[in-house]
Structure 1
Amino acid sequence: MAGRVRENGDSRLTGRGRATRERILTAAADMMYVKGVALTTLDDVRAASGTSKSQLYRHYPDKDALMRDVVALRAAEVLERQHQHLQRLSSFRGLERWRDALIERNALHNGAYGCPLGSLASELADQDEEVRRAMARHFAAWEGLLEAGLARMRDSGVLRADADVSGLATGLMAALQGGYLLAQTARDVEPMRIALDMAIAHVKAHAAPAGEAPPEVGAGVR
């Protein structure tokens, strides 16, 4: 995964060089998730990755460059997991399984560190415009996976034909990110569970009446 973060910079690296850069990036991503970006120094990353100062600065001349690759790495990891969970979403039970997977993963640390992507956004969105724009794209992609699943539910007759799948996806994402934050401050995933349950209940309120036929292909239902 890390080797795909900066493809343009990989072409002239040896295998050993790519391994060193990946080790640096992985160490930085782990430390920034646990300690936060502001409290993670390049010296911390150097020590954690077992690299020399010259090796570190050869790959990352400053913290900003490292931080941007950490954002790209975390986004790739999060979106890959979300794609696995949401690519076949087509039912309310599928939404509940998605919720359960998120909560179970966050419960590993009692919700202590928040969303791997959202925690970075909260620290960096006001500090670096390039990172803010990248974050916006990543969250839009995540929300798009939800919207696509809800659209399948609408098109198959699980949701009403007039269901606003874009708005419902935004509501689910807002509940998820708010739930992450509440779980982080409480050190308890129960607030996250409640927030997601309420958002899913709102989606269920748009269920198609029993016996309602799904819209015909090409009927123009959005």
Structure 2
Amino acid sequence: MERAEITERGRLTRQRIIEATGEQILASGIGGTTLDTVRAATLTSKSQLFHYFPRGKTELVREVAEWEGRQLLEAQEPEIHDLGSWESWERWRIKLVDYYIDRGRWACPIGSLATQAAQTDAELESTLAESMRAWRDALAAGVRRMQIAGAVDESADPGRIATVILAAIQGGLILSQPERSAWPLEAALDNALAPLHQASIEP
């Protein structure tokens, strides 16, 4: 179904279904999320669900993955496309922690989806990998800006530092979940940013 065929009201309904499904997946996993639970949460009929998502749950989950990827990067704006100063990195760090913790998101939607379904759905795996690459590339670009500004040594590997940061975010969220506290995520981020600070050039 072409998106252009959907009315504005239909677009809003479709988006509401995607967002509600994303919240269910985060809380109950893909296996615990069914079209029936989505219908109940969104007060939509079976015919409505298949009108907007003709391929059923598989299509809906893929749409959730795409939406979550966009949301994740948008939540880090504008800092994610700056990161050219230590102040910008600190603002980015604070904003990222707020995005997860203030919204009660004790897990990364992209990371959770990757863990649960990537091996069973090649298209979903590709979508999730692209989201992670876009995030890693944005962080690596920030490291390169620091190098251009003369704040970080040119020998530092932007891609490697960005990968370490992403791994720390995923691990920090896992540890923050049972604690219901931001400190494990904050500690993991501080540790992940350490290589960047270690590569800094003293004025």
Determine if the TM-score, normalized by the shorter chain, exceeds 0.5: yes
Q: Does 1:79 align with 2:82?
A: no
Note the alpha carbon deviations across 1:73-126, whole angstroms, 9 max, x for none: 1111112223422111112222222112222232226653x1122122221112
CA, structure 1 residues 191+71, in 2 after alignment: closer, same or farther (shift >3 Å)?
A: same
TM-score of the two chains, using structure 1 as the length reference: 0.84
Please state whether the residue corresponding to 2:5 is helix, strand or coil: coil
The answer for unaligned runs of 5 or more in structure 2 is none
Q: CA RMSD in A?
A: 1.8
Task: Show the counterpart of 1:66.
Answer: 60
| Aligned positions, number | 202
CA, structure 1 residues 131+172, in 2 after alignment: closer, same or farther (shift >3 Å)?
A: same
Q: Does 1:195 align with 2:188?
A: yes
Alignment partners' CA distance in 2, 1:184 and 1:130: 28
The answer for unaligned runs of 5 or more in structure 1 is 1-7, 211-222
Task: Show the counterpart of 1:131.
Answer: 124
CA contact (8 A) 2:84 2:145 kept: yes
Please state whether the residue corresponding to 1:159 is helix, strand or coil: coil
Q: Does 1:98 align with 2:107?
A: no
Alignment partners' CA distance in 1, 2:61 and 2:154: 43
**1:118 counterpart letter in structure 2:** G
CA contact (8 A) 2:73 2:80 kept: no
CA, structure 1 residues 141+57, in 2 after alignment: closer, same or farther (shift >3 Å)?
A: same
Q: Which moved more, 1:30-39 or 1:147-156?
A: 30-39
Please state whether the residue corresponding to 1:200 is helix, strand or coil: helix
Note the alpha carbon deviations across 1:172-211, whole angstroms, 9 max, x for none: 111111111221243322111111111112210001132x
Q: 1:27-38 to 2 correspondence within 5 Å? A: 27-38=20-31
Task: Show the counterpart of 2:177.
Answer: 184
**1:44 counterpart letter in structure 2:** T
CA contact (8 A) 1:87 1:145 kept: yes
Alignment partners' CA distance in 2, 1:92 and 1:162: 18
Please state whether the residue corresponding to 1:40 is helix, strand or coil: coil
Please state whether the residue corresponding to 2:120 is helix, strand or coil: coil
Please state whether the residue corresponding to 2:36 is helix, strand or coil: helix
Q: Does 1:169 align with 2:162?
A: yes
Note the alpha carbon deviations across 1:28-50, whole angstroms, 9 max, x for none: 12222222221111111112111
Note the alpha carbon deviations across 1:122-151, whole angstroms, 9 max, x for none: 211122111111111110100111111110
Alignment partners' CA distance in 2, 1:84 and 1:38: 35
